[in-house]
């Protein structure tokens, strides 16, 4: 599927800014977060094979961003950035947390405890906060960040969706039920228990995932029969990229492609149940629903299967970072808006704060790189720099509407792609003399960004460290101090 069909779509309609009358209840907030989920899997992003009617309805009733990108390639850093509005070199989470360590056990700790976050902002304003699903940011056994309702996983990886370990009431146990349905059950329960007061629900599915043992597990949800004979051309058999070590393993097995599609549809079922619950309790009109993924997943596109850490060298290609992002709030957001602004994970926190009138609660330090696109949600114009930045261990990049520049420390090659002519990022132009001015200009802008925002303590490019217990440390010639404490 070609992303270009989604780029340059005009905003449909306009919406006058809704007046915040005195005494009006503040909107509830439901943040639905998926795991390893490419935007290309959804009907509202053009997929005609994978069934996602409920997510498509969200998009039809709100604003869909056609060009939203994760600012990192794996789970823990992107979740930290979503909640804090910071880059990895500011919050210190550079890659995913492994089993044990920061997550559960005597050395467990919350990796974002020192920062302002979305749940802290909302609970300080009087919201009740609930988490149902994957946390993967440390201190998993106990509620973090102001959450009072807390059902999660002890670890971040997903070996399957049935008979898996979960944390409930401060205890680890095995849950036999389909996890996607289990998380939805708790999301529904939380809404029903808190329907008379402002609430924040973070419903963090550990699917569709698309990797490892979870893909070798048979399809057992209600979509098994539908996908049993699907060829799924939306997962193309492109020429394998030489850097991707997952491609042949997954693309040669039709069952893997069907499993990934079925897990996307399983999440869609959950979204439908959450929306039905809001409507049943007359909460629909005054609930802001945000649907987003932590990072993308390539499903054969440009010869990749997986995320940016499933290559050597590590990468930041669009197919591994392109994520769905939808905002829906009937009271204030006009139906059917589609925006082609380039937005990133780190823009969500400041946008939410401004949308809710809580911008005064945003922290002044560390400085947030994120921007506010809240006016656009209500159909108003917004001044915007169509540029997003990416950072994953030894890889940094700058992406504009037309170009992407990727740079590595302690490793080669650097990369430059003309996204107008080469949206699949197959032709590296970094050494072409005719593009030297473009390359140097992008490099200068990227260096200015990373000179402004990082905390030296967590800036790997300048001798800093990582909170993550797993890191490709040999790239930096360092010994990760967190590795010792988690083994």
Q: Which sequence spans correspond to the domains of the chain?
A: 27-378, 388-486
Name which of 392, 396, 438, 387 is nearest 414 in CA terms: 396
Q: Along the 487 residues of the chain, how does pLDDT read in single tens digits?
A: 333 332 333 323 222 233 343 357 899 999 999 999 999 999 999 999 999 999 999 999 999 999 999 999 999 999 999 999 999 999 999 999 988 889 999 999 999 999 999 999 999 999 999 999 999 999 999 999 999 999 999 999 999 999 999 999 999 999 999 999 999 999 999 999 999 999 999 999 999 999 999 999 999 999 999 999 999 999 999 899 999 988 888 888 999 999 999 999 999 999 999 999 999 999 999 999 999 999 999 999 999 999 989 998 999 999 999 999 999 999 999 899 999 999 999 999 999 999 999 999 999 999 999 999 999 999 999 999 999 999 999 999 999 999 999 999 988 999 999 999 999 999 999 999 999 999 999 999 999 999 999 999 999 999 899 998 666 645 665 444 434 333 2
From residue 78, alpha-carbon distances to 89, 95, 118, 136 in Å are: 12, 9, 14, 10
Distance separating alpha carbons of residues 204 and 3, to the nearest angstrom: 26
Closest alpha carbon to 134 in 89, 219, 75 = 75
pLDDT at site 246: 85
In contact, 478 and 393? CB cutoff 8 Å: no
pLDDT at 483: 42
Instruction: Give the model confidence (pLDDT) of 276-333 as tens digits.
Output: 999 999 999 999 999 999 999 999 999 999 998 999 899 999 999 999 999 999 999 9
- Number of C-beta neighbours around residue 301 at 10 A: 27
**Contact at 8 Å (CB) between 338 and 63?**
yes
Cα 287–284–70 angle (5° rounding)?
45
CA-based Rg of the chain, rounded to a whole angstrom?
Answer: 21
Overall CATH class of domain 388-486: alpha beta
**CA nearest to 221, candidates 183, 184, 180, 256:** 180
pLDDT per residue over 414-462, tens digit each? 999 999 999 999 999 999 999 999 999 999 999 999 999 999 999 999 9
Give the contacts of 93 (CB within 8 A, at least 6 positions apart): 76, 77, 80, 111, 112, 137, 466, 467, 468
CA dihedral (211, 217, 221, 226) in degrees, to 10, reads 80
Residue 414: DSSP 8-state: -
Placement of tokens 């939306």 in the chain: 234
CATH superfamily of 27-378: Alkaline Phosphatase, subunit A (3.40.720.10)
46, burial (CB in 10 Å: exposed 0-12, middle 13-18, buried 19+): middle
Nearest to 57 by CA among 322, 314, 227, 278: 278
* pLDDT of the residue at 20: 41
> For residues 434 and 416, what is the distance between their CA atoms, to the nearest angstrom?
12
Q: What is d(CA 360, CA 147) in angstroms, rounded to the nearest whole number?
A: 21
> To which residue do tokens 């998380």 refer?
183
Q: Report the pLDDT value the prediction gives residue 474, as an integer from 0 to 100.
A: 55
Per-residue pLDDT, 406: 98
Cα distances (Å, whole numbers) of residue 112 to 74, 204, 218, 318: 16, 17, 36, 27
């Amino acid at each position: 599927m070609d992303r270009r069909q989604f780029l340059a779509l005009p905003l449909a309609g306009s919406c006058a800014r809704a007046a915040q009358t005195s005494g009006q209840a503040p909107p509830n907030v439901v943040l639905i977060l998926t795991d390893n989920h490419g935007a290309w899997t959804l009907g509202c992003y053009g997929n005609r094979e994978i069934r996602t009617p409920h997510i498509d309805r969200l998009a039809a009733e709100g604003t869909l961003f056609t060009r939203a990108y994760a600012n990192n390639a794996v789970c823990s850093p992107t979740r930290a950035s979503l909640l804090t509005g910071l880059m990895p070199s500011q919050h210190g989470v550079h890659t995913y947390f492994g089993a044990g360590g920061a997550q559960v056990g005597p050395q467990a700790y919350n990796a974002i405890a020192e920062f302002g976050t979305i749940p802290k902002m909302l609970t300080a304003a009087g919201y009740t906060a609930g988490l149902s699903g994957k946390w993967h940011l440390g201190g998993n056994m106990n509620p973090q960040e102001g959450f009072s309702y807390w059902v999660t996983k002890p670890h971040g990886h997903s070996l399957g969706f049935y008979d898996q370990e979960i944390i409930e009431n401060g205890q680890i146990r095995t849950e036999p039920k389909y996890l996607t349905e289990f998380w939805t059950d708790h999301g529904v329960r939380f809404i029903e228990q808190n329907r008379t007061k402002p609430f924040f629900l973070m419903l963090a599915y550990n699917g569709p995932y698309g990797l490892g043992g979870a893909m070798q597990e048979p399809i057992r949800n209600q979509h098994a029969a539908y996908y049993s004979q699907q060829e799924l051309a939306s997962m193309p058999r492109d020429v394998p990229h030489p850097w991707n070590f997952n491609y042949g393993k997954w693309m040669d097995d039709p069952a893997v492609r069907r499993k990934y599609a079925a897990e996307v549809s399983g999440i869609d079922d959950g979204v439908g149940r959450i929306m039905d619950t809001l409507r049943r309790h007359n909460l629909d009109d005054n609930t802001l629903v945000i649907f987003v993924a932590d990072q993308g997943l390539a499903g054969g596109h440009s010869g990749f299967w997986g995320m940016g850490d499933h290559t050597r060298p590590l990468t930041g290609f669009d197919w591994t970072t392109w994520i769905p992002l939808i905002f829906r709030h009937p009271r204030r957001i006009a139906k059917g808006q589609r925006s082609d602004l380039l937005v990133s994970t780190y823009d969500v926190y400041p946008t939410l704060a401004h949308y809710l009138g809580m911008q005064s609660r945003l922290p002044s330090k560390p400085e947030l790189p994120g921007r506010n696109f809240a006016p656009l949600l209500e159909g108003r114009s917004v001044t915007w720099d169509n540029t997003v930045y990416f950072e994953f261990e030894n890889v940094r990049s700058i992406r504009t509407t037309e170009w992407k520049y990727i740079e590595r420390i302690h490793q080669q090659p650097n990369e430059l792609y003309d996204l107008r002519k080469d949206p699949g990022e197959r032709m590296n132009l970094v050494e072409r003399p005719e593009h030297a001015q473009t390359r140097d200009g992008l490099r200068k802008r990227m260096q200015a960004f990373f000179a402004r925002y990082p905390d030296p303590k967590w800036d790997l490019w300048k001798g800093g460290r990582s909170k993550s217990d797993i890191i490709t440390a040999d790239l930096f010639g360092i010994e990760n101090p967190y590795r010792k404490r988690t083994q």
